[in-house]
Structure 1
Amino acid sequence: MTVVVRVENVSKKYQLGNIGTQSLKGDFNRWWARMRGKEDPFAKIGDESQHQNGEFWALKDINFEVKQGEAVGIIGKNGAGKSTLLKILSRITNPTIGNVKIKGRIASLLEVGTGFNPDLTGRDNIFLNGAILGMTKREIAAKFDEIVDFSGIEKFIDTPVKRYSSGMYVRLAFAVAAHLESEILILDEVLAVGDTEFQKKCLGKMDDVAHKQGRTILFVSHSMQAVTTLTNTCIFLKNGQLKSQGFTQEVIKGYLQSDPSALEQLIYIDSPSNLEPKVTKVEIESSESSNSQAYGKPMTILFNISTPSPIKSAALSFQVMNSMDQPVTHLLVMDSEIPIARKSGLFELQCHIPKVRLYPGNYTLKVHFADRFSKQKYQTIERICPFEVGVYGEIRDYYWGTGNAMYVEDCDWSVVCMDQYSKV
């Protein structure tokens, strides 16, 4: 398969502490402080690079290749160098050291405001972006209605984009990047802005672009569910260095294990209230570490509930949501089945699943807490406790193909003997 992106020994250096000091006096003061072994007088508070002559390496010796039709995730904490790398790939900035070779047209959505002329209307910016990609006016016009319909901002398409809200802006920007004919699509946190419904549309469109249209995608996100759904391979950046690359699920597992703050996100915690009942903790006990769950193995979900006053008929339920935020299964327990919160205090409930049959992928929980007798809804908690279901030691390639199913049903097969065919 053809290599369309090749990154060779790429490093990017920024000079810190120089803003407003580009003068003979400023340069002399910095030099004199350095000669006396003192700190840079213009360095920012908390600048860890001040002992390196004000140099900050956002990227250091990055090497990787992306082949045509691949969908590659790029993950890491804030400040890891993800956005800097995408800016270099998009030709917005140049590397200090190294080379980037790209084969094909690139459409980028890096941040709200990138790629649009604020004084032009939405309509004009669609045609401008298409022209930059080398498309003819007729080709852009053929995609125009589809772009506008997807963005959902038909009423404002002839309004200058500088008057758009950030949500409207990213709607149109994503629609343009995803629908115009580029061989390579570069996306940076496109799910960070916009409502839930539009985020679902984005995920659906990116899945279509990646798996059906065969275009190359480089995708940065803090959503491990989205990265796992959309990409097959992944790159993990830490402090500007490439820590690991390979199959997405393996790289994400290593990232979660190396980052304590990422592990904290796997457990939902809230403070008790003296005024109303609350779910104060939700935790998954999975078969593997870091909320990784082997298909066919048991799983336990723990719930802590705080109740300042008794509840007559409490009900607790949760839905397992897939990476497209669609419910896959719904589990419920009621006070009529086991006593729940009949007295004030703190309670812990356990839901034990003997054999998880969810299809391989990434999931979250959506928890509901209510009083069925009074019909009062206390809480609905969404997108918590992300976990991954994987298959280990299973060879049935067609069975576990991407998008084949949501869960696997238990079944028994048998052979029914039939009379052997004989010639007349």
Structure 2
Amino acid sequence: MEENEVLVSVKNVSKKFSLDLKSSLKYGALDIIKSSFGVPIKKTLRPKEFWAVKDVSFELRRGECIGLIGHNGAGKSTLLKVLNGLYNPDEGEIIMKGKVGALIELGAGFNPILSGRENIYNNASILGFTKKEVEAKIDSIIAFSEIEEFIDMPVQNYSSGMKVRLGFAVASHLEPDVLIIDEVLAVGDLGFTLKCFNKIDKLLPHTAVIFVSHSMPMVSRICNEIILMDHGKVSYQGKDTGKGIDAYYDMFKTDENSEIVFDTKEVKLLTSHIVDNTIRNSCYDVQWNTDFLLEIELENINLRKMPHFSFVVYDKEQRAIAEFIPADQDITVDYTPGQRKKFQFKIKNFNFSKGSYTITITLQKNFTTEVFYKEHRIININITGSDQMWTPILLDSTQISN
């Protein structure tokens, strides 16, 4: 096959379902009767039906990876099942060339009463591989899965992680022309996930990959095109992965208030704001790579000494990505109970890429022990003025030579 040929062609594909079993059985029976007599089946929705996937189109060539992203229930997994032939589309056309390997659901394709070794042969035969071809790869498959001592145990006794290891090992080592991967990689541990991505890197030049994940770092790691789905429809489609990922994050924006997660009633945060910055939609706009002044006001309820301050920055996926601890803190200074006092902290070169971030404050006896108070989202920040990026940090750099 040609290196740059189209392996997957999806044209205006739609799939509908019924909201309950009774109507599903009723419509299914009617459709069978109509098709038996050559009566055309209406493509419009009937009562209690909805479009799980509506009018999706794309082409995927060898060496390309398309990422399907969206909220739970957006239609991603349904689309994958249509692509893999588990569901027939109600509308549209799908053309897939070559051998297709799929990891759509945990343990899908495995016979639970057969051993891992027997399931390897079963899966390979479904993909069209001969026993001789499998025998040439089986040692490598078992070694990659890291479940050698359990390979002859029935799959029904495997943990979720073991099923993922075996499923990915089989799908990747048989080197399919099209590889379909759902969220299952999120089940594995970090070490195995890294192995999987290294394997995908080796496969990708000769394979077309369809990848579904809620982890945007994973998506941005391998995908060169994004389809963002929302209630079955395509909300964004294009090769600007950063734009697609930002559109995904925008779907989950909320105006959540701060949340106290630890409070010993010794000290309390009264106010927090960024000095001389306008707050808009509960967020402060901050220019990329600039300084700003964070001011807080505390009420000392019962402390005798000054608390230790620390602040943690969280990204759009609520991962802690940075921490700033004000220098020269003197936690031996006397602190009068009942006193209200304001503190200012200068944050220098806030060089996070365009997007939304939150700040959490922790007050404690010292750097590592005895937390007095902790509150999430005391400050919401929207970084402006930089190029659209999916990475959390955009470092300041210049070219000094050709």
- The CA deviation at 1:254 is 2.4
Q: Any idea what the Cα deviations from partners look like across 1:314-348, whole Å, max 9, x if unmatched?
A: 2526588999x9x9876443562799996799998
Q: Is the 8 A contact 2:310 2:361 kept in 1?
A: yes
Match of residue 235 from structure 2: 243
Match of residue 421 from structure 1: none
C-alpha distance in 1 between matches for 2:53 and 2:365: 53
1:59 aligns with 2:50: no
| Identical positions, percent | 33
Where 2:56 maps in the other structure, the secondary structure is strand
C-alpha distance in 2 between matches for 1:388 and 1:148: 47
1:252 aligns with 2:245: yes
Where 2:106 maps in the other structure, the secondary structure is coil
Q: Any idea what the Cα deviations from partners look like across 1:35-68, whole Å, max 9, x if unmatched?
A: xxxxxxxxxxxxxxxx942222211222111122
TM-score normalised to structure 2 length: 0.69
Given candidates 362, 372, 396, the residue that maps to 2:366 is: 372
Where 2:60 maps in the other structure, the secondary structure is strand
Q: Is the 8 A contact 2:262 2:374 kept in 1?
A: no
- The CA deviation at 1:84 is 0.7
1:129 aligns with 2:123: yes
Where 1:94 maps in the other structure, the secondary structure is coil
The structure-2 alpha-carbon separation of the partners of 1:167 and 1:318, relative to structure 1 and needing over 3 Å to count, comes to same
Match of residue 333 from structure 1: 326
The structure-2 alpha-carbon separation of the partners of 1:293 and 1:67, relative to structure 1 and needing over 3 Å to count, comes to farther
The structure-2 alpha-carbon separation of the partners of 1:293 and 1:386, relative to structure 1 and needing over 3 Å to count, comes to closer
Q: Any idea what the Cα deviations from partners look like across 1:143-175, whole Å, max 9, x if unmatched?
A: 434443443333322110111222332232233
Where 1:168 maps in the other structure, the secondary structure is helix
- The CA deviation at 1:235 is 0.3
**Any gaps of 5 or more consecutive residues in structure 1?**
28-50, 394-399, 416-424
Match of residue 220 from structure 1: 212
- The CA deviation at 1:180 is 2.8
Q: Any idea what the Cα deviations from partners look like across 1:94-145, whole Å, max 9, x if unmatched?
A: 1011110011211111111311111111122123222322334454344434
The structure-2 alpha-carbon separation of the partners of 1:218 and 1:291, relative to structure 1 and needing over 3 Å to count, comes to farther
Match of residue 78 from structure 2: 84
User: Which structure exhibits the higher relative contact order, with contacts defined as CA atoms closer than 8 Å and separated by 6 or more residues?
Assistant: 2
1:154 aligns with 2:148: yes
C-alpha distance in 2 between matches for 1:231 and 1:374: 40
> Which structure 2 residues correspond to residues 109-258 of structure 1 after superposition, within 5 A?
109-194=103-188, 198-199=189-190, 201-203=192-194, 205-206=196-197, 208-210=199-201, 213-214=204-205, 215-246=207-238, 247-257=240-250
C-alpha distance in 2 between matches for 1:282 and 1:199: 37
Q: Is the 8 A contact 1:191 1:199 kept in 2?
A: no
The structure-2 alpha-carbon separation of the partners of 1:314 and 1:170, relative to structure 1 and needing over 3 Å to count, comes to same
Given candidates 347, 350, 354, the residue that maps to 1:352 is: 347
TM-score normalised to structure 1 length: 0.66
Segment drifting more, 162-171 vs 230-239: 162-171
Q: Is the 8 A contact 1:306 1:347 kept in 2?
A: no
Paired AA for residue 152 in structure 1: E
The structure-2 alpha-carbon separation of the partners of 1:15 and 1:407, relative to structure 1 and needing over 3 Å to count, comes to closer
Q: Is the 8 A contact 1:4 1:104 kept in 2?
A: yes
The structure-2 alpha-carbon separation of the partners of 1:225 and 1:19, relative to structure 1 and needing over 3 Å to count, comes to same
